[in-house]
Each structure stands twice: as structure tokens, then as C-alpha cells.
Amino acid sequence: MNPEKKHALNKWTHFNEVSPLISLFKTYHDLTSEIEYFINQHTFPVVFKKNKFISSPLDHHDYAYLIVKGVARGYLKEGKKEMTIWIAKENELIGNSYSVSRDNKPAEAYIQALENIEAVAIPHEMYARLYDMDHIANYIGRKITQFHYFQSCERSLIARLQTAEKKYIRFMQSYPDLVSRIGLKYIACFLGMRMETLSRIRSRLLVGV
């Protein structure tokens, strides 16, 4: 479950000597040289193989991750049933919110790589130090939180649609680049329907094109 670390003096060579997290942050606001240096020093690249766990209830880790390449999902288990609660791709941050709670409560969710993943590991403690360092970090943090809130609202909307077909159509509109990238069973799990139901919907929609 532990990621394969690529942590060395030349760790950012593959990324033009800059942590990809800096590039993400700069889409929200320019950064000071101090912040850039701090991020370069405290983050590092990791990889996860397809189908491997990035996090689980048994894994007590101290990192969030920025996906540079690949797709991951977060899901809950109830007996043998899995419930996918989110799917994330490139330039999105993933992690388990339970693992950063003050009481150190064990994570209840699983995070799984659906493709081979290249990512940037971000120590949880780094966020607090960044927020204390400069008001810019607080602004960026709010913008990223807003982005994830909107994503959560979209997932909530999909879950509340009344028919399986409407849910899948909305999924195609919201996640067009994921339709052909991830397996049907994961899409069906995300939409809360049986894979056979999703297959029938897809066939019916194709006929109607």
C-alpha cells in the first residue's frame, strides 16, 4: 500500500525542476519565492500501480496527493458492497479527510488507483505551515476548498436524480473524459446502480444517436 517514492536530490527533474503543486497553486494566484521553495522542499513525487490502494482504514498515513497522471476513486464498504463516493483525475487533490482530523480518527474510506498513477505527496503538516507563512496560501486554500465543494454538489445532484438514465447522462456531461477511461463497474458503483442496468442504458443511448 505504501507508494513507491521517488524522493532524491533531483526529485523534480522529470517536472522541469518544479513541484507540480506549484503549477496548480499558480492557477489561483502568483506565489512568492519563499512559498515555492517551501513546496519544492516538502513535497515529493510518488507512484501507485493500477488497482493498488492509496489509502485504507488500516493505513494511517500523513499525506494528501496531487494527481499528475491517472485516475483514482474513493469508496466505502458495507459488507461486500462497495459505494464509490468520488472519482478524481489529473490536477485534482485526493486524500482522506478522516485522517487529518484532530483526534486522529482512523480513515473509514478506501482510495484506489484505477490507472497507474503519478502523484505528488503533500504532508498534512505542510498545509498548516503554509497558512502561517503567507496570506496567499490561505487564499489558495479557500479557492481549492471551493472547487471541491462544487464537485461535492455535483455528486449530490447526480445521486438525487430520479432515474438511472438521467444519472448516467449527467455523469457523461460532468465527466466526459472519464467515460472511456474507467471500467463500467466503477461508473455503475459511482452512480449507485447495477452494471447490467448501466450496460442497458448505454446500449439504448447508442441506438438513439
Q: What pLDDT sits at residue 7?
A: 56
Dihedral angle of Cα 44, 50, 56, 59, to the nearest 10 degrees: -50
Q: Please give the Cα distance from 154 to 87 (Å, whole number).
A: 12
User: What's the CATH code, domain 4-124?
Assistant: 2.60.120.10
Q: Is there a contact between 61 and 111 (Cβ–Cβ < 8 Å)?
A: no
Average pLDDT over residues 6-13: 74
Average pLDDT over residues 28-42: 95
Q: Which residues contact 203 (CB under 8 A, 6 or more apart)?
A: none
Average pLDDT over residues 172-190: 94
Q: Which residues contact 90 (CB under 8 A, 6 or more apart)?
A: 67, 68, 69, 70
Average pLDDT over residues 33-62: 90
Task: Report whether pLDDT(116) > 60.
Answer: yes
Question: Can you read off the three cell numbers belonging to residue 86?
Answer: 468520488
Binned at pLDDT 50, 70 and 90, residue 80 comes out as confident
The length of the chain is 209
Helix (H, G, I), strand (E, B) or coil at 70: coil
Q: What pLDDT sits at residue 50?
A: 96
Average pLDDT over residues 134-158: 93
Q: Is there a contact between 182 and 71 (Cβ–Cβ < 8 Å)?
A: yes
Query: Which of 54-83 are b and which e, b meaning 16 or more Cβ less than 10 Å from the residue's Cβ?
Result: bbbeebebebbbbbbebbbbbbeeeeeebe
What does the domain layout of the chain look like in residue ranges? 4-124
Q: What pLDDT sits at residue 100?
A: 47
Task: Report whether pLDDT(22) > 90.
Answer: yes
Pairing of strands 117-123, 63-69: antiparallel
Which ranges of the chain would DSSP assign to H, the alpha helix? 20-26, 33-42, 124-133, 135-160, 164-174, 184-191, 195-208
Task: Report whether pLDDT(102) > 90.
Answer: no
Which H or E run includes 86? strand 81-88
Binned at pLDDT 50, 70 and 90, residue 107 comes out as low
pTM, to two decimals: 0.88
Q: What pLDDT sits at residue 124?
A: 87
Average pLDDT over residues 94-102: 62
Q: What pLDDT sits at residue 99?
A: 47
Backbone angles phi, psi at 66, to 5 degrees: -100, 120
Average pLDDT over residues 181-201: 94
Q: Which residues pair with 87 in a beta bridge?
A: 73
